[in-house]
């Protein structure tokens, strides 16, 4: 009775707060000028002002009505709880499962100000919008003469009389950290010789210049050279002869890489440079990624770089930009209204970054000025005219020929400053090549500079020498917008280098490793955060002497292995088979190390008495959740042996929001119950563990338990052997066999009903949605949301693409299909298995090449609002086959769909009928969606894959590709090393409200908050770590809750990364806290979402965020910590604008 009274009082109090807040809102409508501005300028007439007031009142009433209804639900739940309802799930007479009501209210109200962002600001439109450029261009590929993909360039001889042409020739060597050879083999065979020659040859003439970008190679070389050589390098950097460009660990792929890893490899490179050479990069250099993402300019700008260069862009766009002198532009983010994200970008105009395609439009002439190709060498010019060494006798004629190319190239740009790269893959590896290039070019420069009538000044330069000269010429500070230069927004996918050769295959190539990459990334983020917290707590307790600081070296190594894999021949799946194995071994090695770092940190943090902490590397306190026998195998989950004495589990939630999730554990007995650390029984579901379509694995069972996990925290659970009937609720299984003669193993504890293949639809239902499947195929057919009459058709099917019969065929890079996809037609009908239970139900269908599981969680909140989909793909017996999964719906999306860039932002796409099918595929690192006025369907993914929408209402994703031949881009192999690969997705269907209609024409879109959080659930799974078997009487364990307040829903802790001490194998006292405030769209329905967070207009109090720890100092810095922004203040309250990523140097302890 007493509890009921408390609940009533609590409900009444909440109601009063709501009414009072309504009063305040009304009050604000009358006084808040900001509200008036956001609605535009109204005519002064009283009526329109009044009308506006009424509309705002209606909106506020509706918001308040929603809050009140949430409160009602919550109070009802609380009351139901108070009246002693059973805590465990129970069956109702009509056969459906009822879960215990949530014991705490969850109602989400986003403040209206936080909804304004997605509606867009009043900023100027960019001059160049890439979506519009695509619509405009004919893509007709006309023959342009010597510049085959361009046009004939002409100039007037006196054009430079008033202002001479300033030419910067930039020597470079493009070093792939793995491609045809492994990283180490390239280093020993080539890279070390390039860098050693560089030190030698740059000292011979102070006019020589060189640029370098890959710090992965540079740091390996640095570790192997003398102090004397290091001093020379520092001097060469100091006097401007050697420039470190971009300065990342690698030159990352921009299609498949996730923004966490892109930033991490940039920090790793920048921190290395700062510590070892004391230099901060100023200019970005990306000559080889296969298409360019607009995430990169944002990251470079926030790292304080002032200029950047890109090369691999569709040849038709290069031609168009060259014709309109738009090859140099300020690149701006789509959401930016005040130009704060602008960065100056130079696009190279021609086919390649090699010497024949960089001096000017005619490769036949440019090749004659690549002096590595002098007769007698190992490489020559395909155009049959070799270079000639420069002598006094021929210098005038040779220089004139080269100057003509320089002038023609210069006509494509707006300024009289010209950039001419001079290099190629792994160039300058022998002293002879340095001499051939530098001596011959210096003779040409000396001649050109001695002829005033030529009006040219030519010299060697670095990339920043070029940018600085350009800024000086146009009279602006580096980083500002040069007058008359265009502003561009959008990205440069998808890339074609010639004809209809679209590089859209690599969005899916080797999906096994694309998936492993993301598993490693999630573990790295989890390990960074948990290690930082454990170390801070240990230091605060004076116990850092007993904590394994050696874990930091493993953490550092994992950062570098993940960084290495972001390279544009690694995550892309475009390296030789042996190189892919080398990457795989590195990823697996680091994954295992990270699991141990997480275990060590979790062990310390859950101990009730920290003084009893003892780190024993030979006998870890916790076991890992799963193991991988080799780099190319799928994970095998750990089986926990239950006993009469309790087995403890420690569950780690890597999300910064508390989550209510179904946690799964394999056990060796069906007689098991799960308790909280306090000994309260938790809802759990027992299922068989299936080894094949019809066989269960003997003596292994899956227990699924519903647990509330603290944000970034650790929850302790107990497993007990129990012979009580109600301890764990069993799943029921129906197995539909196409031919009834298949053998079957039955295991008593989990009943299995075997039935002939069905024609009836199969439907699964929870409190949020109902999903129906075809009885014959076992594939999804429709989804109906609770409270809606109409089913939404969401039918799925598998399709197969072949490749062309003649000429060029698909390979690791290219997608060249033989027409539209054909239906996947397996020889046999599938075995379909339906599992139903209180916490989840699922439909599994077994086909010859793919096994799909679609699961519906019967859980309140985020977990139950989307469908969990997993596809186990194995196409190792196929030839030239690409397997696709297509969803078809009634959504009237027409030709528009949306894909994410790097998990950071959304880019609207348009299906272009004028382009071939393969041109309409785009990268999908985390999500893609289609929408109309009523609905949005989002496909969330846990691994990067290629995606498209080839028809209205469709979304399709390429799951795997097996190709027998090379596609002539230098790899020299097909893709034949396919593995059994598990692709994981979530399907989220949301209802759109009317406010969204105005946005649909704009080149900008955002996921909803629910969509963001769903993506996080999919990508940051909870880790379940059993306390090791031999710990018979484990010490008292306590759940660990690191955050003292709930973070706003739109804030994401991207990383909490301990910085290295002077000894680079040890952590310092400082950490980098990297926060991202996500942009989100409020126009998607947000009822009963089960979040218990809200939004805060970007404000966050960091000082009180971490429970039991003090924040010593907070210093805002540039993204990679190279530059302090403002002074370190005692105030720990920060503010972030939507979409911004901010880094803070902090001391925790």
Q: How far apart are CA 744 and CA 689, in angstroms?
A: 14
Q: Do residues 899 and 924 make contact, with C-beta atoms less than 8 angstroms apart?
A: yes
Query: 324 Cβ partners below 8 Å, 6+ apart?
Result: none
Q: Do residues 971 and 811 make contact, with C-beta atoms less than 8 angstroms apart?
A: yes
First-residue to last-residue Cα distance in the chain: 45
DSSP 189: I
**Residues 986, 992, 995, 998: what is their CA dihedral angle, to the nearest 10 degrees?**
70
The reply to whether 73 belongs to the active site is no
The first and second tokens of residue 186, run together, are 């390239």
Q: How far apart are CA 1142 and CA 1136, in angstroms?
A: 8
**Catalytic-role residue among 253, 288, 932, 977:** 288
What SS3 string covers 651-689?
EECCCCCCEEEEEEEEECCCCEEEEECCCCECCEEEEEE
**Residues 179, 181, 182, 185: what is their CA dihedral angle, to the nearest 10 degrees?**
-140
Query: 84 Cβ partners below 8 Å, 6+ apart?
Result: none
β pairing state of 896-901 and 905-910: antiparallel
DSSP 3-state assignment of 148? coil
The percent of the chain in helix, strand and coil, each rounded to the nearest 5, is 30, 25, 45
DSSP 3-state assignment of 801? strand
Query: 75 Cβ partners below 8 Å, 6+ apart?
Result: 7, 10, 11, 14, 105
Q: Do residues 718 and 679 make contact, with C-beta atoms less than 8 angstroms apart?
A: yes
β pairing state of 922-924 and 945-948: antiparallel
The first and second tokens of residue 595, run together, are 């699991």
Helix (H) or strand (E) holding 514: helix 511-540
Number of residues in the chain: 1149
Let me know if 21 is exposed, middle or buried by CB neighbors in 10 A (0-12, 13-18, 19+).
Answer: middle
**Residues 226, 227, 232, 237: what is their CA dihedral angle, to the nearest 10 degrees?**
110
Helix (H) or strand (E) holding 564: helix 551-565
Sign of CA dihedral 27, 33, 35, 40: positive
Helix (H) or strand (E) holding 581: helix 577-606
**Residues 79, 81, 82, 85: what is their CA dihedral angle, to the nearest 10 degrees?**
120
The first and second tokens of residue 530, run together, are 């948990």
Q: How far apart are CA 479 and CA 307, in angstroms?
A: 7
In the numeric block, the tokens 């010593």 are attached to 1112
Q: How far apart are CA 925 and CA 571, in angstroms?
A: 11
Q: How far apart are CA 554 and CA 731, in angstroms?
A: 42
Q: How far apart are CA 724 and CA 482, in angstroms?
A: 77
Q: How far apart are CA 1042 and CA 720, in angstroms?
A: 28
The first and second tokens of residue 643, run together, are 């006993």
Let me know if 649 is exposed, middle or buried by CB neighbors in 10 A (0-12, 13-18, 19+).
Answer: buried
Query: 313 Cβ partners below 8 Å, 6+ apart?
Result: 291, 292, 347, 492, 495
Provide the greatest CA pair distance for the chain.
108
The first and second tokens of residue 198, run together, are 């560089």
In the numeric block, the tokens 């492993």 are attached to 516
Q: Give catalytic residue positions.
A: 288
């Amino acid at each position: 009775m007493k509890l009921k009274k408390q609940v009533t009082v609590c409900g009444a109090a909440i109601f009063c707060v709501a009414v009072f807040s309504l009063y305040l809102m009304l009050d604000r409508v009358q006084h808040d000028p900001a509200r008036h501005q956001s609605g535009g300028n109204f005519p002064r007439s009283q009526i329109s002002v009044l009308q506006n007031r009424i509309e705002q009142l209606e909106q506020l009433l509706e918001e308040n009505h929603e809050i009140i209804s949430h409160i009602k639900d919550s109070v009802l739940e609380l009351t139901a709880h108070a009246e002693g309802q059973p805590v465990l799930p129970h069956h109702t007479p009509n056969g459906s499962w009822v879960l215990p009501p949530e014991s705490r209210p969850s109602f989400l109200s986003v403040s209206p100000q936080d909804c304004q962002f997605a509606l867009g600001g009043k900023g100027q439109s960019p001059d160049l919008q890439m979506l519009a450029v695509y619509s405009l261009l004919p893509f007709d590929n006309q023959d342009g003469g010597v510049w085959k993909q361009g046009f004939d360039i002409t100039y007037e001889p006196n054009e430079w009389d008033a202002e001479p042409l300033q030419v910067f020739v930039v020597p470079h060597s493009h070093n792939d950290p793995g491609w045809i050879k492994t990283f180490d083999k390239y280093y020993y065979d080539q890279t070390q010789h390039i860098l050693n020659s560089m030190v030698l040859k740059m000292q011979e003439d102070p006019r020589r210049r060189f640029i370098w970008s890959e710090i992965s190679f540079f740091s390996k070389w640095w570790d192997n050279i003398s102090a004397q050589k290091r001093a020379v390098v520092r001097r060469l950097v100091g006097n401007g002869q050697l420039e470190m460009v971009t300065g990342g660990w690698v030159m990352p792929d921009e299609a498949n890489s996730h923004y966490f890893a892109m930033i991490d490899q940039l920090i790793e490179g920048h921190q290395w440079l700062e510590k070892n050479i004391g230099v901060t990069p100023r200019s970005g250099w990306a000559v080889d990624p296969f298409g360019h993402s607009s995430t990169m300019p944002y990251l470079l700008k926030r790292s304080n770089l002032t200029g950047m260069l890109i090369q691999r862009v569709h040849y038709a766009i290069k031609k168009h930009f060259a014709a309109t002198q738009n090859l140099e532009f300020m690149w701006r983010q789509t959401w930016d209204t005040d130009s704060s994200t602008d960065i100056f970008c130079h696009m190279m105009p021609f086919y390649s970054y090699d010497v024949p395609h960089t001096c000017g439009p005619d490769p036949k002439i440019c090749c004659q000025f690549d002096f590595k190709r002098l007769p007698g060498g190992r490489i020559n010019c395909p155009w049959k005219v070799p270079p000639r060494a420069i002598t006094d006798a021929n210098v005038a004629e040779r220089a004139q020929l080269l100057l003509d190319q320089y002038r023609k190239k210069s006509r494509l740009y707006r300024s009289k400053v010209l950039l001419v790269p001079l290099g190629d893959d792994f160039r300058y590896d022998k002293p002879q090549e340095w001499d051939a290039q530098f001596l011959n070019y210096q003779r040409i420069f000396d001649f050109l500079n001695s002829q005033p009538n030529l009006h040219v000044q030519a010299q060697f330069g670095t990339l920043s020498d070029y940018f600085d000269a350009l800024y000086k010429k146009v009279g602006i500070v580096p980083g500002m917008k040069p007058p008359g230069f265009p502003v561009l927004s959008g990205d440069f996918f998808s890339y074609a280098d010639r004809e209809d050769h679209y590089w859209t295959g690599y969005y899916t190539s080797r999906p096994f490793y694309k998936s492993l990459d993301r598993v490693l990334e999630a573990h790295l983020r989890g390990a960074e955060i948990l290690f930082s917290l454990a170390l801070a707590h240990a230091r605060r307790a004076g116990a850092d002497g007993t904590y394994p600081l050696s874990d930091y070296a493993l953490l550092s190594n994992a950062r570098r292995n993940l960084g290495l894999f972001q390279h544009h021949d690694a995550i892309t799946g475009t390296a030789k088979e042996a190189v892919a194995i080398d990457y795989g071994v590195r990823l697996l090695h680091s994954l295992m190390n990270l699991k141990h770092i997480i275990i060590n940190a979790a062990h310390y943090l859950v101990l009730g008495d920290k003084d009893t902490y003892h780190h024993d590397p030979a006998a870890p306190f916790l076991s890992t959740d799963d193991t991988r026998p080799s780099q190319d195998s799928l994970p095998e989950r750990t089986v926990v042996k239950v006993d009469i004495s309790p087995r403890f589990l420690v569950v780690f939630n890597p999300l910064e929001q508390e989550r209510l999730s179904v946690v799964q554990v394999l056990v060796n007995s069906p007689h098991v119950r799960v308790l909280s650390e306090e000994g309260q029984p938790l809802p759990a579901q027992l299922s068989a563990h299936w080894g094949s379509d019809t066989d269960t694995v003997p003596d292994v069972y899956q227990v699924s338990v519903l647990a509330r996990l603290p944000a970034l925290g650790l929850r302790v659970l107990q497993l007990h052997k129990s012979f009580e009937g109600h301890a764990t609720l069993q799943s029921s299984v129906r197995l539909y066999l196409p031919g009834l003669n298949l053998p079957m193993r039955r295991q008593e504890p989990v009943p299995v009903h075997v039935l002939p293949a069905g024609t009836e639809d199969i439907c699964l239902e929870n409190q949020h949605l109902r999903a129906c499947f075809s009885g014959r195929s076992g594939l999804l057919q429709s989804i109906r949301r609770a409270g809606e009459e109409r089913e939404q058709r969401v039918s799925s099917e598998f399709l197969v693409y072949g490749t062309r019969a003649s000429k060029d065929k698909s390979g690791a890079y290219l997608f060249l299909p033989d027409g539209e996809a054909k239906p996947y037609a397996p020889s046999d009908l599938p075995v379909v298995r339906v599992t139903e239970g209180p916490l989840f139900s699922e439909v599994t269908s077994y086909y010859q090449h793919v096994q799909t599981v679609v699961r519906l969680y019967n859980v309140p909140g985020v977990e139950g609002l989307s469908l969990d989909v997993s596809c186990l793909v194995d196409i190792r017996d196929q030839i030239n086959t690409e397997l696709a999964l297509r969803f078809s719906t009634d959504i009237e999306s027409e030709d528009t769909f949306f894909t994410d860039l790097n998990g950071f932002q959304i880019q609207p796409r348009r299906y272009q009928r004028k382009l071939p099918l393969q041109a309409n595929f785009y990268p999908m690192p985390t999500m893609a969606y289609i929408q109309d006025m009523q609905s949005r369907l989002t496909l969330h993914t846990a691994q990067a894959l290629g995606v498209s929408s080839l028809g209205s209402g469709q979304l399709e994703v390429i799951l795997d590709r097996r190709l027998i031949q090379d596609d002539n881009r230098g790899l020299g192999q097909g893709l034949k090393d396919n593995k059994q690969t598990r692709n994981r997705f979530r399907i989220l269907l949301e209802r759109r409200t009317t406010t969204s209609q105005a946005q649909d024409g704009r080149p900008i879109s955002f996921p909803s908050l629910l969509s963001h959080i769903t993506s996080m659930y999919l990508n940051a799974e909870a880790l379940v770590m059993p306390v090791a078997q031999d710990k018979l009487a484990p010490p008292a364990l306590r759940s660990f809750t690191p955050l003292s307040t709930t973070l706003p829903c739109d804030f994401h802790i991207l990383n909490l990364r301990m910085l290295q001490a002077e000894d680079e194998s040890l952590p310092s006292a400082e950490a980098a806290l990297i926060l991202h405030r996500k942009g989100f769209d409020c126009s998607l329905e947000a009822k009963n979402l089960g979040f218990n967070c809200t939004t805060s207009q970007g404000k966050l109090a960091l000082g009180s965020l971490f429970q039991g720890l003090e924040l010593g100092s907070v210093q805002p810095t540039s993204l990679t910590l190279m530059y302090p922004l403002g002074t370190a203040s005692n105030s720990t309250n920060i503010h972030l604008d939507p979409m911004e990523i901010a880094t803070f140097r902090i001391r925790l302890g």
